[in-house]
Structure 1
Amino acid sequence: MAVDYGLQGHVAVITGSTSGIGQAMAASLAEQGVNVVLNGFGDPAKIEADRAALEQRTGVKVRYHGADMLKADEVADMVDFARREFGRLDILVNNAGFQHVAPIDEFPVETWNNLIGVVLTSTFLATRAALPIMKAQGRGRIVNIASAHGLVASPFKSAYVAAKHGVVGFTKVTALENARLGITANAICPGYVKTPLVEAQIADQAKARGIPEDRVMGEVILAAQPNKQFVEYEHLAGMLLYLVSDMGASATGAAMVLDGGWTAT
């Protein structure tokens, strides 16, 4: 039985939503009647095809903004684009990110700066742009897709771990500053989800650890998760929908963990 979360007519911006987790989050919101603004890189023809298909399947309005998360003016314009198109902004999902695996002393400085920029700084920039709109409305929901790596560390992922820890901390500050304004901010901290980002790590992890690629999945990627199962998109969507609905009004400043027991060990 489908659950109605009372989101019909709301408006959401989801960064990094042309593939993987972000794309699944956008679909889950659209299925609840939320008009969405997609964002991300990829083949323009595929992005347009996916946008049109989601719009046709759900009956909501789906738009695309190609903001580069490393450019402050483009991030701000993406958020204002939602206001210009729909007259409001109810939900911001900060999801954009990428991964690079290397020892600290071999980690490229430019890659460090870009990763921190895309994962952490863009979360600040989009939130900064969204808050005035949400304050004027007297309601808003900010959900930052962090990671179990926002709570614990793994070798060879220094920039990603640092950025995701920063996202969790930034989420708490956002929640405290806006606790009496009808605006909530929470982080979702999943364990490993089988996304293109995770699959792309296999070769890098094998090289960094000196093991064959066929051993990486079980011995490295899922080694930390006691249930030895990937987190499913549906699990993340359920948490997202709860947080952005009225049912999630008392949840703010929280790091919602969906990691198969990883951080319990």
Structure 2
Amino acid sequence: MRGLDRKCVIVTGGGGAIGGAICRRFAGYGCAVGIFDRNLAAAEAVAADIRKGGGRAFVSGVDIADYGAVAKDIAGFEAEIGPTDILVNNAGWDRFVNFVDTTPDLWDQLIAINLRGPLNMTHVVLKGMASRGHGRVVNIASDAGRVGSSQEAVYSACKGGIIAFTKTVAREMARKGITLNAVCPGPTDTPLLAAVAGDDERGQKVRAALIGAIPMKRVGQPEDIPGAVCFLASDDAAFITGQTISVSGGLTMHG
């Protein structure tokens, strides 16, 4: 894709299944990658893969819900690697519970990771992007934020908020050479999905029901996500902003 070589990219949740796939794909296009993940060991493992391939990688174990820590670690990334050209807000977390059985403490955890974290990251990098007159922000939302998802009420609310946030800031930054877009994965084969489904008979039924609902008759793989992310971050998507793209095998189709 055009315009990715030598760009400096930050990916939150970069040590996870989807985040790691995104980091490796950007590195394959010649980008220097900042892997921001509270799971420092997982982030270091992704960085090691990138470095083995001759790429540049920076690792941060920052808590993205902490604005001061975010500002400090982004400054560290930019001092070592270079100004942030691309931000991918990928970090996310959920717990599957009916809303009436949740607690305010759980709401706070979900909002901190899934909503406040992306706000913090975006707020810090946008100022530099605006001063340079160029930047790309790709927010990993979810189809749960578009159509809802049982037992994911607060997570869905956060992801719906991310979609609205993306569109609003895309309008504000359009004349400054900065685009913001959202990618919404459908059910994807990650540790979170595995934990929800489980290995018992009920879990197998849940997985079978998911596959049956997806027109392509399979759940997504982490490697299915980076193509859309890298495209939206590239020069090939220079005239695309404020858009939401589902990567769901056709599970959700919006006009």
With the shorter chain as reference, the TM-score category is over 0.9
Amino acid at match of 2:51: E
The within-5 A match list for 1:11-160 is 11-42=8-39, 44=41, 46-57=42-53, 59-160=54-155
Shift in Å at residue 223 of structure 1? 4.9
Equivalents in 2 of 1:131, 1:88: separation in Å? 11
Shift in Å at residue 213 of structure 1? 2.3
Tell me what 1:235 maps to.
224
Equivalents in 2 of 1:48, 1:259: separation in Å? 29
Q: Kindly report the root-mean-square deviation, in angstroms, between the aligned alpha carbons of the 2 structures.
A: 1.9
Amino acid at match of 2:225: L
Shift in Å at residue 39 of structure 1? 1.4
Shift in Å at residue 23 of structure 1? 0.7
CA contact (8 A) 2:13 2:91 kept: yes
The within-5 A match list for 1:167-246 is 167-203=162-198, 212-219=202-209, 221-246=210-235
Which blocks of at least 5 consecutive residues in structure 2 are unaligned?
A: none
Secondary structure in 2 aligned to 1:121? helix
Amino acid at match of 1:180: R
- CA change 1:124–1:264 in 2 (3 A) is same
Which residue of 245, 250, 253 maps to 1:261? 250
Tell me what 1:252 maps to.
241
CA contact (8 A) 2:198 2:204 kept: no
CA contact (8 A) 2:4 2:234 kept: yes
CA contact (8 A) 2:36 2:43 kept: no
Equivalents in 2 of 1:43, 1:239: separation in Å? 26
CA contact (8 A) 2:133 2:177 kept: yes
| Post-superposition CA distance 1:100-135 (Å, at most 9, x none) | 111111112211111111011111110000001111
Which blocks of at least 5 consecutive residues in structure 1 are unaligned?
A: none
Shift in Å at residue 203 of structure 1? 4.1
Shift in Å at residue 78 of structure 1? 2.6
- CA change 1:222–1:120 in 2 (3 A) is farther
- CA change 1:47–1:245 in 2 (3 A) is closer
Secondary structure in 2 aligned to 1:55? helix
| Post-superposition CA distance 1:178-205 (Å, at most 9, x none) | 011110000001111111121111149x
- What is the number of residues matched between the two proteins? 254
Shift in Å at residue 238 of structure 1? 1.4
CA contact (8 A) 2:14 2:20 kept: yes
Amino acid at match of 1:135: A
TM-score by length of 2: 0.93
Amino acid at match of 1:190: P
- CA change 1:247–1:118 in 2 (3 A) is same
CA contact (8 A) 1:80 1:129 kept: no
Please, which moves more after superposition, 94-103 or 67-76?
Answer: 67-76
Q: Percent identity?
A: 33
- CA change 1:224–1:115 in 2 (3 A) is farther
Secondary structure in 2 aligned to 1:87? coil
Secondary structure in 2 aligned to 1:263? coil
CA contact (8 A) 2:196 2:203 kept: no
- CA change 1:143–1:47 in 2 (3 A) is closer
Tell me what 2:3 maps to.
6
Equivalents in 2 of 1:5, 1:28: separation in Å? 14
CA contact (8 A) 1:189 1:256 kept: yes
Shift in Å at residue 43 of structure 1? 5.9
Equivalents in 2 of 1:66, 1:226: separation in Å? 38
